[in-house]
Amino acid sequence: MDNIHYISTDILSLEIVNDILSQDKKLALSEEARANIEKCRAYLDNKMESLDKPIYGINTGFGSLYNVKISNDNLSKLQENLVKSHACGTGDEVPEAIVKIMLLLKIQSLSYGNSGVQLQTVERLVDFYNNEIYPVIYTLGSLGASGDLAPLAHLSLPLLGEGEVYMDGFRQPAHKVLAKMGWEPIILKSKEGLALLNGTQFMSAYGVYVLLKSVKLNYLADVIGAISLEGFDGRIEPFDEHIHMVRPHKGQIVTARRFNDLLEDSEIIAHPKQHVQDPYSFRCIPQVHGATKDTVDYVKKVFKIEINSVTDNPNIFVESDQIISGGNFHGQPLALTLDFLGIAMAELGSISERRTYQLISGLRGLPPFLVSNPGLNSGFMIPQYTAASIVSQNKQLATPASVDSIVSSNGQEDHVSMGANAATKTLRIVENVERILAIELMNASQALEFRRPLKSSDFIEVFVKSYREEVPLVTEDRILHYDIENTIAFLNNLHLDDSVIE
């Protein structure tokens, strides 16, 4: 029972989603969710028996074809055609980890009883999740406005025995997997295709994935920044609580306190300094890292609302006997926050690269490029080039997607969010930041050795010792590509305490 998460109206938080994923929990519909789904479907079936007027997406065409009435005999075919015709994704495949989150969030959204889907449709999505059957979905194709139509169409195709899925590590036709599992294809009823395709689960899944990664990288940026501060023989005064209490931004305060904790009892930080001030990339760490933390906190609030919402259209309200067509599928709240998050995370990489640059500059008793016998050895000269290149790319990627809109569906969908593009490029930014921080860790840990025999704090010494088991000290030139990749793997494999995610 402990390894099952029951889908219900209980609030999903980022921490709960992380727990579901990290503990590899299975999903099950609660009795509440089953009752809500069945009640809504029964209401819609009864309504269709006596309904003569057109209701968008239920007995009409879609988009600009909203005024084309469809006969009751063709309602199932209408929904099947919708799923097939909208499966127009292209580009790279969506990472499996994000497809898994898409399934979770689509199940959650359909479980509230406002979408009109059949119980067996949601149960089949649960089956896909629990049996690690992941539809093949593509990164390009969504405008982030009528929901994530193309990606969600690819998510839904296997319900019909169409499209492709990954199972047991192999890409294979969905109909073969259904046959292997002994499952019949789902025959969609009225509105079901639209309920599956309308929704923000592509943007939301990317957002959840990127947020979890961003929270971890924010913590690691502090740890790696603290190692850089020690390697650069920096001062602790800029992290004094008095400074931050007179400008009490939460993230700034949290960052300063963390640095004091990380560097507690450090011999390096305590010994007398020859310099009065540090460069901004060290002195302003609380202000810069802190602003990114505050951005992450804001984005978490937006996504918490989103992943606990109904985002298809139209929405069905059984108690008030209404079927209302609206715009809950529009991704504007997500597009704006994903762009904001991308900008904030890009800045975390930008200041990291500046610290790397300072460390290799031959300042404060450090040898040029952090290697003995510089000249014969180039040392850490070129990793800084690599970091600078990645920072530059992040600046380009940080250009907001949400400021763009292109008219679609013959003018019916005349303002779109481009939130899907914001989502995919924000993931690229965050992955780039991980690479930049890995390069800083390489440099910072190397610089720390030139401060011997002085020691850093117990925490820093243990952290660096663990890192050294994966990436040895550089004593003469070697191929640093492997060191970069091994450092990225080291950071990826670190598991943080749950309190860091909160």
**Phi/psi at 107 (5° precision):** -60, -45
Is 56 a residue of the active site? Answer: yes
The tokens describing 41, both together, are 């479907």
What tokens does 426 get? 């924000």
Amino acid at 107: I
Phi and psi dihedrals of 93, rounded to 5? -75, 145
Name the 3-class secondary structure at 403: coil
| Pairing verdict, β 90-93 and 138-140 | antiparallel
* Tokens found for residue 8: 């219900």
Q: Which two tokens stand for residue 257?
A: 């306190």
Q: How many CB atoms lie within 10 A of CB 222?
A: 22
Residue 233, helix vs strand vs coil? coil
Length of the chain in residues, anyone? Answer: 502
Write the CB contacts of 91 (distance below 8 Å, at least 6 apart in sequence).
Answer: 138, 139, 140, 141
Task: Pick the closest to residue 137 from 188, 81, 185, 206 (CA basis).
Answer: 206
Token pair listed for 108: 């959650």
CB 263 within 8 A of CB 269: yes
Measuring CA to CA, which residue among 235, 282, 268, 258 is closest to residue 461? 268
The token duo for 197 is 């395709």
Of 56, 112, 134, 219, which is the active-site residue?
Answer: 56
Question: How far from chain centre, in Å, is Cα 447?
Answer: 33
Instruction: Yes or no: say if 75 and 55 are a contact pair by the CB < 8 Å rule.
Output: no
| d(C-alpha 75, C-alpha 57), whole Å | 10
**Crossing angle of helices 458-468 and 201-231, rounded to 10°:** 110
Cβ atoms 197, 221 nearer than 8 A: no
Q: Which residues are catalytic?
A: 56
